[in-house]
Amino acid sequence: MDRDLWIACALALALATGTTVAQEKAEDKALLVVPEEEGEAGIGGKPVPPEFQEAVRAYQDGDYAGAMNRWSALADKDYAPAQFNLGVMYETGRGAGINYQRAAEFYEKASEQDIPNAYLNLGLLYARGAGVEKDDEMAAELFEAAAELDLPEAQFNIGIAYLTGRGVDKDEAEAANWFLAAAEAGYRAAQYNMAGLYHRGVGVDRDIAEATRWYETAADSGDPIARYNLGMLMLDARSDRSAAEEAARHIELAANQGVTAAQNQIATMYARGVGVKPDQETALTWFEIAAGMGDDQAIGNRDRFAATLSPDTRAMAEQRARAFRPQNTLP
């Protein structure tokens, strides 16, 4: 297995980059803070104003200026969901140019009424230094406030903060607690990280059975790297032939989803007949695909393996590799 692959994945989503599902899909959050139907109880048990839902419909129809005008009128009346949504619009540039300072102002107003996503998005701005002075301690404080309101994205982010010691004292056990809360709520990145923590024994006692369970949960949620690590964990066990076959199945699924390490690994398995029937052409095809991604190990493996094969086999493998396209979804 690639060294510390799980940590690399976690840090790809960490505060340093400010990248989370919440941020990547920030424009969708405008529709998530109140009930969908008019007249239902909204924030604080108050009915949702009809003007708010009119703004929602305008937003959905692409009339961002109309939505902003309606939400601005409600924000002036201290209606927190409208304040939050204005923050989203200023952050994403919908209805006006991107203005992180204004986004931060509206997120702060909404957070004063305990809108969980307002705490989260404001924290992300502080983590990035966008519209506010970069402040990791403030970011962590805001993430924790949202996490305590059971927002999985925030639980994940405060987990990263404790894991890395960014804005808080490093505490791997506390990180594990927050990742577990988010993982149990179905947050895929946290499920992956829980698998990694159990796999390495970081913040929790090392437990391969729990690592396997969380890798499988994350894989079933669509995480291809979790799928690869699940396969590698099964392969490392080397308990019997059926385990090797199941490992190969997971690794090849991850390879088809574009995980380069999985492509190189399944190529080796086809070359050696581990968990699959030996197939030189398929082995070289996977080596070619991984090598095409610039993987040095795969390049070396491809060159050495290709030298043992016939020109016809090399040509067919190259043709198959050129036709390969990663699959976004798998059964």
Residues with Cβ within 8 Å of 315's Cβ and at least 6 positions away in sequence, in order, are none
Predicted pLDDT at 329: 63
Q: Within 10 Å of residue 319's Cβ, how many Cβ atoms?
A: 11
Predicted pLDDT at 2: 34
Predicted pLDDT at 34: 52
Q: Please state, in angstroms and rounded to a whole number, the distance separating the CA atoms of residues 292 and 295.
A: 7
Hey, what are 326's tokens? 């990663």
Q: Within 10 Å of residue 2's Cβ, how many Cβ atoms?
A: 15
Q: Is the pTM of this model over 0.75?
A: yes
Predicted pLDDT at 38: 46
H helices of the chain, in order, are 5-12, 21-24, 50-60, 64-75, 80-92, 100-111, 116-128, 136-147, 152-164, 172-184, 188-200, 208-220, 224-237, 241-256, 260-272, 280-292, 296-306, 311-323
Q: Within 10 Å of residue 96's Cβ, how many Cβ atoms?
A: 14
- As a residue count, the chain comes to 331
Hey, what are 135's tokens? 């402040």
Residue owning tokens 């399944």? 266
- Strand-pairing partners, residue 41, are 47
Q: Which of 47, 107, 112 is nearest to 82 (CA)?
A: 107
Q: By three-state DSSP, how is residue 322 classified?
A: helix
What are the two backbone dihedrals, phi and then psi, of residue 106, each rounded to the nearest 5 degrees?
Answer: -75, -35
Secondary structure percentages of the chain, helix, strand, coil, to 5: 70, 0, 30
Residues with Cβ within 8 Å of 321's Cβ and at least 6 positions away in sequence, in order, are 285, 288, 289, 292
Q: Which of 19, 74, 134, 77 is nearest to 85 (CA)?
A: 74
Q: Please state, in angstroms and rounded to a whole number, the distance separating the CA atoms of residues 282 and 314.
A: 10
Are 265 and 236 in contact by the 8 Å Cβ rule? The answer is no
Q: Which of 124, 122, 134 is nearest to 87 (CA)?
A: 122
Domains of the chain, start order: 224-323 (1.25.40.10)
Per-residue pLDDT of the chain (331 residues; tens, 9 = 90+): 332 333 323 333 332 223 333 333 333 444 444 544 444 555 666 678 889 989 989 998 999 999 999 999 999 999 999 999 999 999 999 888 999 999 999 999 999 999 999 999 999 999 999 999 999 999 999 999 999 999 999 999 999 999 999 999 999 999 999 999 999 999 999 999 999 999 999 999 999 999 999 999 999 999 999 999 999 999 987 667 788 999 999 999 999 999 999 999 999 999 999 999 999 999 999 999 999 999 999 999 999 999 999 999 999 999 999 999 998 765 5
Are 154 and 29 in contact by the 8 Å Cβ rule? The answer is no
DSSP state of 47: B
Q: Please state, in angstroms and rounded to a whole number, the distance separating the CA atoms of residues 284 and 131.
A: 50
Containing H/E element for 245? helix 241-256
Q: Please state, in angstroms and rounded to a whole number, the distance separating the CA atoms of residues 175 and 166.
A: 12
